[in-house]
A = this chain, B = another copy of it.
Amino acid sequence: MFRISRVTDYGIVVMAHLAERGDGDSHNARELAEDTQLPAPVVSKILKSLTRAGLLVSQRGSKGGYSLARSPREIPVVEMITALEGPVGITECTTHPGTCAQEANCQVRDPWQRINGAVHAALAKITLADLAKPFEASGPFVSLVGMEGDALGRAASDERRSE
């Protein structure tokens, strides 16, 4: 359905929550699950993935927990998505070259790579800081992604028409 998975969505919520705290303190999985109202085992799993990807740093043992590895402004959305559901790629041949039998005589591969690049670039420009402080950042944010005024309106009407 061209959607991000639920774990990714959860992951963003947790990261945003961590970013809003602002403190460099580490928070344990149970606490984060409670704060975000998400199922604890899932949150724990997500935190591990984000740590492995280098977006969080973990501290083991008593008084352990997780904290942001960098400042929110330096964590692009695309990295969070990549960490939680693998490489961002619109088509199969983008992420796994060689697995498509039609690749040799495919007429649309090259443009798809560019479309993918455009989506990728858009997601790379948005950072965790933009998500965590929506009202503060929304002004510059909109212009950042190169979206003209009526883009959202048109998008919404497109979706409505298709249902």
Q: Which A positions have Cβ atoms within 8 angstroms of B? A: 1-6, 8-9, 12-13, 16-17, 20, 36-38, 53, 77-79, 81-83, 85-92, 95, 101-102, 106-108, 110-124, 126, 130-132, 134, 137-138, 141-142, 145-148, 151-152, 154-155, 158-159, 162-163
Contacts and interface: CB of A to CB of B under 8 A. Distances in A.
A155 B86 CA distance: 13
Contacts of A16: 107-108
Given A2-B89, A88-B155, 20 more contacts: A1-B89, A2-B5, A9-B91, A9-B92, A12-B108, A13-B106, A17-B107, A77-B115, A82-B158, A82-B159, A82-B162, A83-B162, A107-B131, A108-B132, A111-B134, A112-B131, A113-B152, A118-B122, A120-B154, A124-B155
Contact of A85 (B1, B17, B78): B1
A158 to B, nearest CB: 6
A139 to B, nearest CB: 11
A72 B89 CA distance: 24
A16 B52 CA distance: 40
A159 B115 contact: no
